[in-house]
Amino acid sequence: MGELVRPTHDDPVAAAASESIGGPVGEHAAPHPWWTPLRVVLALTSLVFLAGMLQKTPCVQAEWTGDKVRYASLCYSDVPYLYSGRGFAERIVPFSDTDDRYRTMEYPVGIGYFAYGAAVLTQALSGWPDVEARAALPADDVFGAEGVAEESWLYFQVTAVLLFLFALLAAALLAGAHRARPWDAVLFAASPALLLTGLVNWDLLAVAAVAGALWAWARDRPLLAGVMIGLGTAAKLYPLFLLGALLVVCLRRGRMRAFTLATIAAVVTWLAVNLPVMLYGFDQWKVFWAFNDERGADLGSLWLIWQQLGHSVSASGINVASWIWFGAVCVAVLALGLLAPRT
């Protein structure tokens, strides 16, 4: 395991910040008997996540209506809008063919499962409202139906609680990924990204899966790491790219068998999650891929700034530029990983 690394001895930023509370920890300081690094990380995650929930207060007070509030106050979230906007208020299973009554869920299958499960739990807590009566209404009128606005708020709360559990899981796994460096997980636990975007949508599912993959790989369990990568990729595309990082590591260390096992496990897991929807409704399943392929400059993108400055930005142009940039970065990472001297 090795000796526990103390951040104020290892990180100059942490050392400088510690001056306000007495300076770096002493060489002979004893650890607190209860406040272990893991518990501190979990406590920080809880506080930051709670602050993120409070940060949504302006949107809650405005009942999630009005662009001015949700954007000016930085409290926007996909969650309450998709409750009525994707048919969850009628308990419609994601990726079903609704004859254009609702837009198909534009998220990967894993998030679709999770979002639907949260909707079912919400309606159970609401006393199982009459969804058949809602189905008889025009889709645009469903949000105004009796109880739907309240359920949308409850749906957000239910989702927030579930995502909080995933945030804690991610924090715990990151703290355990390197047994001598549990404090590194503070970079996640206290991050502004968790505070401001943890409840924008369901991305924490993928974050927890990636944390699980790192934890498993650190313990020489490539199959489990692959399973976690597969689950993460079923919820968001970016966990797939972790295989690229593992490829560089395995090429350098001669561990291609471990990489092969992880890759096979990732593919099988991803297929296990996606195949039911692919067979049940392939056209609905591929909406996520088409949506992102055709998506132009959007919220949270540097391309949007360029567009707002008056420049024309097409979806195809963004795709080409992004692939070129991504490919160049991958080549640079591969070169660095293979050529950098060992330290």
Length of the chain: 343
Give the per-residue pLDDT at 2. 60
Tokens of 283: 């056209």
Q: Which residues, given as ranges, of the chain have pLDDT below 50?
A: none
Cα-only R_g, the chain = 23
How buried is 67 (Cβ within 10 angstroms: 0-12 exposed, 13-18 middle, 19+ buried)? exposed
Helix crossing, 78-85 with 148-177: angle to 10°?
Answer: 130
Listed in sequence order, the DSSP H helices in the chain are: 7-10, 12-17, 37-55, 57-61, 67-72, 78-85, 109-125, 131-135, 148-177, 186-189, 192-197, 204-218, 222-235, 242-253, 256-280, 282-285, 287-293, 302-308, 315-339
Alpha-carbon distances of 35 from 31, 32, 43, 103, 235, rounded to whole Å: 8, 5, 10, 48, 33
DSSP character string of 143-171: TTSTTHHHHHHHHHHHHHHHHHHHHHHHH
Give the per-residue pLDDT at 271. 98
Q: Return the DSSP state at 192.
A: H
Task: Please state the pTM of the whole predicted model.
Answer: 0.91
pLDDT (tens digit, 9 = 90+) per residue, 127-148? 999 999 999 999 999 988 889 9
Tokens of 109: 């299958």
Helix crossing, 222-235 with 204-218: angle to 10°?
Answer: 170
pLDDT (tens digit, 9 = 90+) per residue, 222-237? 999 999 999 999 999 9
Chain center to CA of 171? 13
Give the per-residue pLDDT at 1. 52
Residue ranges of domains in the chain: 50-195, 203-286+322-343
